[in-house]
């Protein structure tokens, strides 16, 4: 039975298993490692590897499905690379290259352009955003779903149900999608930092108005939890 080195990191209680190698696990193996009773336990598994002159991340949900992008996950990867002594400003994801900068203990990430159609928002991965309380009938298992409450013009609360995972404590792309939709609807201001309250803590999101649309900036923490070796069947 092979043993694999892993690192556990979390961003606002959204926790991930980081494995420093090229992806090679089956969906069943990903599910087992993310299982909180039979495995390490996590909201997702991220492979981190160096490819074509860039550090690259590949994210999998707890059900073994591929996630194109993960906002909390990329901050965890940036923190892991920093902890390993690497000087990194760009990380390749399946949603493109993202720039990461450390600011006073937090990670600021250029999340790219939000693509909006109705209440659907793409941050490299799909989101459906609803204003109001959680309504189970609106949760679509094929997309990430956010329910938003506006506290005041620069302060919102968001509950997030992630595709392939269920409700999570936080989601970086979900926070960006929520702010992007409300800014596009003129319910939040552009070019100002919005505090997004999530179950696991706060993210700070800015939607910058450009000629091409809304460019999203995310700022938040990431933290090392533990590391070890795990047997992979």
Which residues are catalytic, by number? 70, 171
Closest CA to 107 of 70, 76, 67: 76
Q: Are 227 and 4 in contact (CB under 8 A)?
A: no
> Cα-flanking dihedrals φ and ψ of residue 10, to 5°?
-140, 150
H helix runs in 70-229, sequence order = 71-83, 172-184
Which residues are CB-neighbours of 45 under 8 A, at least 6 positions away? 16, 17, 19, 25, 30, 33, 34, 59, 60
Tokens read off for 218: 């995310």
């Amino acid at each position: 039975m092979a043993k694999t080195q892993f690192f556990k990191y979390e961003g606002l209680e959204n926790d991930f298993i980081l494995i420093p190698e090229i992806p090679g696990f089956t969906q069943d193996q990903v599910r087992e490692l993310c299982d909180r009773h039979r495995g390490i336990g996590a909201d997702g598994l991220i492979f981190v590897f160096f490819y074509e002159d860039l550090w690259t991340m590949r994210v999998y949900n707890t059900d073994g499905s591929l996630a194109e992008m993960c906002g909390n996950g990329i901050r965890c990867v940036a923190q892991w690379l920093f902890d390993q002594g690497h000087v990194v400003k760009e990380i390749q994801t399946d949603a493109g290259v993202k720039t990461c900068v450390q600011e006073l203990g937090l990670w600021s990430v250029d999340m790219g352009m939000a693509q909006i159609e109705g209440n659907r928002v793409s941050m490299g991965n799909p989101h459906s955003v609803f204003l109001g309380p959680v309504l189970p009938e609106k949760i679509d298992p094929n997309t990430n779903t956010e329910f938003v409450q506006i506290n005041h013009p620069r302060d919102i609360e968001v509950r997030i149900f992630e595709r392939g995972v269920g409700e999570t404590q936080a989601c970086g792309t979900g926070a960006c999608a929520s702010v992007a939709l409300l800014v596009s609807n003129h319910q939040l201001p552009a070019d100002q930092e919005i505090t997004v309250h999530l179950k696991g803590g706060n993210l700070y999101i800015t939607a910058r108005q450009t000629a091409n649309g809304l460019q999203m900036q995310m700022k938040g923490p990431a933290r090392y939890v533990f590391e070890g070796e795990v047997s992979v069947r």
